[in-house]
Amino acid sequence: MSYNFDEIVNRYGTSSIKWDLNAPKNQAGATRPIPMMIADMDLKCPPAIIEAMRRVAERGVYGYTSHFAEPRYLAALCDWYGRRYGTVIEEDWVLYSTGSVTGINCAVNAFSSPGDGVIIMSPVYGHFRDMIENETYRRVVDSHLINTDGYYTVNWADFEEKCAQPTNRVFILCSPANPVGRVWSEEELRRMADICKRNHVTLISDEIHSDIVRSGVTHTTILKAAADHSNIIMINGVNKSFNVAGLHCANVIIPDENLRGIFKSRFGEHLPSPFSVAALIAAYDESEDWLDALNKYLDDNIDFAMDFIKERMPGVKIRRPEGTYVLWLDFSGYGLSGEEIHRRIYDNARVLLQDGLVHDLRGGECFQRICIPVPRALLEEALTRIAAQLEPIPAACAIKV
């Protein structure tokens, strides 16, 4: 089946955080902003999910719902992991969560105490830091990734040193890595898991972007890579993959019974909506071909963006991400401050990205994160606006003949 990802969907007036809440109100005569800072898609969901939503809506009753009451919910999830990732998941390992950050928040509370250290690897999804400091009242311990021409790798000596500190109790892994686009190899994942296990650190792997990878790239789950699951929590869901973030459908997967019991005692019971249950089943059972087509479209969007940037914004450094639908743009070649980069893009170009400091306090000043799961025409318009604010090309970037 073919899918029209080029269709422009008008999201104004839909209570969208991205378009209605975060985007500034359009001023008379002003260019309307293009928001590309939030990781949800401006693309229609798979037809099977739309049809499943219609069937649920037509019931007319939307009472308390449990994923345990619908056998296909857990079966569809386990089948997906076995089919897509070669990973065995037992149904009783699975707990429903309204989102990945909700599950991470609970795990941090369950397996550490206020004031303890929680390890992250910056640049990394900025809400991790905010959640650690302002919601769970733990300390952020940053084992900063090594940047080699835009390719990020683990600083193994630093990571092991920080895991060895007894007050650092939890490690939050972003897999694939948002915003830097790394899909961690099985060897890297196994090494992380071994270090955490040796040092009694609980490893939480946020794999919410795992279904979004480039052609020829394989995502390995932490459960497949690690031999010992006694300290491992894996979180995933259909939110990002199938553009149903508003349905709040994620899952916390904990193989170890003792670990799961401790987590549940803190987590309590979270109930999905009937729409969430139907969406997951329709996604995993009926929408795999849609996901494959989406990944191809995202590949093409990324190639388009990289070609455009090379030609029109040669001062921007960019590396093709292995996974996610996020580009991590380094504007340092223009010799501008972070504030000036922001002003030109947000205020002048009226394109809303996400400042790099959100994801990397140490080195993110001249970076911007852009989310590109949008129709190609919208992506081109956004990049064209940004490029116009960076011309003329700086002398250092000019092509010499």
Domain boundaries, the chain: 17-46+289-390, 62-286
Angle at 226 between CA 78 and CA 253, to 5 degrees: 35
Please name the helix (run of DSSP H) or strand (run of DSSP E) that holds residue 354, with its range, or none.
strand 354-355
| Residue 332 Cα distances to 77, 149, 360, angstroms | 43, 13, 15
DSSP for 121-141, written as a single string = -SS--HHHHHHHHHTS--EEE
- Total-model pTM: 0.95
Please name the helix (run of DSSP H) or strand (run of DSSP E) that holds residue 152, with its range, or none.
strand 151-153
243 three-state secondary structure:
coil
User: What's residue 123's pLDDT?
Assistant: 98
207 three-state secondary structure:
coil
Question: Residues in the chain with pLDDT < 70?
Answer: 22-30, 392-401
The answer to whether 377 touches 8, Cβ cutoff 8 Å, is yes
Helices and strands per DSSP (H, E), number in the chain:
12, 14
DSSP code, position 286: H
Sign of CA dihedral 140, 143, 147, 153: negative
Pseudo-torsion of CA 92, 98, 104, 106, nearest 10°?
-80
For the domain 17-46+289-390, what is the CATH superfamily, name and number?
Answer: Aspartate Aminotransferase, domain 1 (3.90.1150.10)
What CATH topology corresponds to 62-286?
Answer: Aspartate Aminotransferase; domain 2 (3.40.640)
The answer to whether 179 touches 125, Cβ cutoff 8 Å, is yes
The answer to whether 120 touches 130, Cβ cutoff 8 Å, is no
SS3 content of the chain, % helix, strand, coil (to 5): 45, 15, 45
Task: Please state the separation of Cα 283 from the chain's center in Å.
Answer: 18
The answer to whether 212 touches 240, Cβ cutoff 8 Å, is yes
From CA 35, how far away is CA 302, in angstroms rounded? 17
From CA 154, how far away is CA 168, in angstroms rounded? 18
Give the amino acid at 344.
R
The answer to whether 253 touches 233, Cβ cutoff 8 Å, is yes
From CA 318, how far away is CA 151, in angstroms rounded? 10
Count of beta carbons in the 10 Å neighbourhood of residue 215: 10
Give strand pairing partners of 171: 119, 203
Residue 386: HSE in the Cβ half-sphere, 13 Å Cα cutoff: 31
Which residue reads 């060895």 in tokens? 164
User: What's residue 396's pLDDT?
Assistant: 47
Which residue reads 């922001």 in tokens? 342
User: What's residue 399's pLDDT?
Assistant: 34
Count of beta carbons in the 10 Å neighbourhood of residue 138: 22
Tell me the backbone φ, ψ of residue 10, rounded to 5 degrees.
-75, 110
From CA 51, how far away is CA 376, in angstroms rounded? 26
User: What's residue 391's pLDDT?
Assistant: 80
Tell me the backbone φ, ψ of residue 135, rounded to 5 degrees.
-115, -40
From CA 276, how far away is CA 387, in angstroms rounded? 40
Give the amino acid at 183.
V
From CA 223, how far away is CA 236, in angstroms rounded? 12
